[in-house]
Structures are given as C-alpha cells and as structure tokens.
Amino acid sequence: MRRMFEFFAVIPIGLFPVVFIQAQTTRAHPSEPAPIRVLLVDGQSGGIYHNWRLTTPVLREELEETGLFQVTVMTAPPGDGNFSDFKPKLSNYQVIVLNYDSPDWPEEQRSQFERFVNNGGGLVVVHAADNAFPNWRAYNLMIGIGGWRGRNEQAGPHWYFKEGKLVSDTAPGLAGNHGNRLPFQIVTRQPEHPIMRGLPPVWMHVADELYDSLRGPGENMTVLATAHSDPKNKGTGHDEPVLMALRYGKGRVFHTTLGHDVAALSCVGFITTFQRGTEWAATGKVTQSAYSGEVGRRFR
C-alpha cells in the first residue's frame, strides 16, 4: 500500500512538465495557424542497420520544435505482416514521413497511399526509406531513385551530376551502395528552391552514409543538392543526388538520402532541410527559414 501511495504521489510532479512542453511545441501562440498534421511511419529498418526506435523520436522532435507541425507516429508491420491493426486514416494528415524500409505492402495500403499523394498529400522519404518497395511502380515514381533490395537496370537508369548537369546512365548493374561513414561536402544545386533558399552553396555534413548508384525512373525530379562520392571511400567518382524534390500527381515529395543514424540526423544541414522539406511537401511553401541549433546540440 505504501508503495502504491508513493507511485501516485510521484505522478503529478512528473506529468505536468511533459504536458506543458507538448502544448508549447505544438501551438506556440493561439493566433498562429493550425499545425501541419504529420504522420510519421516507422517499424521496419531493413535488418539491423537502421534503429528506427532511436531515430523516430529525433525526427519527431526536429519537426515539433519548430511549432509548425503536429506529429503522429504509427508503427507499421513488415510488408508480409498482419496489417489489420495498421489502417491509418490518411485524410487526417497533410504529409507522411517515412522512416520505414520493407519489401512490399498489401494492395489496400498501397492504393490508399497512392491516392493520398496523387490527390495532393505530401511525402517525405528519409534515408533507407528509399530502399523500400522495389517492385511498387508508383512508389518508385514518387521517390525518383532508390537502391538495394534487388534493384537493377530494370528499375531505371543511374542518376548523377556530371559537369554540373543531371545525367541518366543506363549502364547495367545493381542499385545502391555506400562507403564508410565519413563527413562529406554537400553542394547546393537549386539555390532558389524554397527548401534551399539562403543555405550555403557548399556545407559539410557530419559522418553519414553517402548513398551512390541509386536507380529509378527519375521523373518529375529536381535534384536540390549533391555530394561527391569519393572513389577512395568505395565511391563512384560522381556527384550523387542527396536531396530531391519531386511531383507525383498533385502531390509533392521531399527525398533525403541523408540520416543513417542519430548522429547524422543531428547535423544542422539535415535538420534544416528536413524541417523545410516537410513543410514544402505539405504546403508547397517554406516559412521555416531560421534554425536555432537547439535540437542538434541536444542529440549529439
């Protein structure tokens, strides 16, 4: 009995600050517009490589700290799992953030997802989410390029920058590769795009996987930024796309290949482009221009 009393006595002290902080982050001022409703989907990570249990809270906080977004997290089963408990009402959301990598989804979930983006819903694809769904045609149109899970020349050409221009390369071969996690430079290619406006022409990204040799249809795809894939670190020697903006039907897609782990997600460049990219995918505009650096410091 005494234990129970102690338990209840502790609750109010622990709970009040949490409720207060959440109310503050989702609605800074009553006069501000309603927050953008985000559905963050996680739950599969392509084996042991990506710890979504650690990265999802970071992604969530990076969005909510702006005061612009209200994030709901839903954990999806693997593609061949039981989807009876995973039936999100997508019309409740303006943008879906995928921190999820699994081979396939059932027809019902796929067609609902396609309708959502086709009708103007936003999509944000983070890092290994571009490994997911190799055989789902519409998804590969949404992400433009992807890697691994058996993707080869059938998925589409390689896309990269050569002499400052985006080229497609139909040479056969598997899609998806990266070297060791090292810091690398990111080069802005579309300085006037709302996601990139005011960012430096070149900046250093923290140690992360630099995806190369991605393949896909590459339709309606604008490459916002590239990174040079160094042959000394098992790279291609090409300037590989790392940030992309795409259209699918009436929907907008922001695709970042960055963000392997919590350290990579904590880079100011990742945070800024992720916050802006999510706002752009949801609304077509970017009002999130400043960055305080608070989240990066917290997760480091």
Find tokens 């990742």 and name the residue: 270
Query: For Zn ion, which is the closer residue by CB, 187 or 263?
Result: 263
Query: For Zn ion, which is the closer residue by CB, 41 or 258?
Result: 258
Please, what is the minimum distance in Å from the beta carbon of residue 238 to Zn ion?
19
Please, what is the minimum distance in Å from the beta carbon of residue 175 to Zn ion?
15
Rounded Cα distance, 113 and 246, in Å: 16
Query: For Zn ion, which is the closer residue by CB, 31 or 180?
Result: 180
Nearest of 292, 23, 275, 229 to residue 126 by alpha carbon: 275
Record the tokens describing residue 233, joined without a space. 């670190």
Q: What is the DSSP string of 182-200?
A: EEEEEEES-TTSTTTTTS-
Which residue's Cβ lies closest to Zn ion? Answer: 260
Query: For Zn ion, which is the closer residue by CB, 130 or 279?
Result: 130
Record the tokens describing residue 71, joined without a space. 């994030």
Query: For Zn ion, which is the closer residue by CB, 209 or 240?
Result: 209
Query: For Zn ion, which is the closer residue by CB, 68 or 97?
Result: 97
Classify 290 as helix, strand or coil.
Answer: coil
Please, what is the minimum distance in Å from the beta carbon of residue 176 to Zn ion?
10
Please, what is the minimum distance in Å from the beta carbon of residue 204 to Zn ion?
19
Please, what is the minimum distance in Å from the beta carbon of residue 177 to Zn ion?
12
* 81 contact partners, CB below 8 Å, separation of at least 6: none
Helix, strand, coil: what percent of the chain each, to 5?
A: 30, 25, 40
Nearest of 61, 67, 24 to residue 40 by alpha carbon: 61
Record the tokens describing residue 65, joined without a space. 């700290």
Query: Which contiguous run of DSSP H or E holds residue 158?
Result: strand 158-162
Please, what is the minimum distance in Å from the beta carbon of residue 184 to Zn ion?
14
Query: For Zn ion, which is the closer residue by CB, 228 or 260?
Result: 260
Task: Write out the residues near Zn ion by the rule CB under 5 A.
Answer: 209, 260
Please, what is the minimum distance in Å from the beta carbon of residue 178 to Zn ion?
7
Classify 249 as helix, strand or coil.
Answer: coil
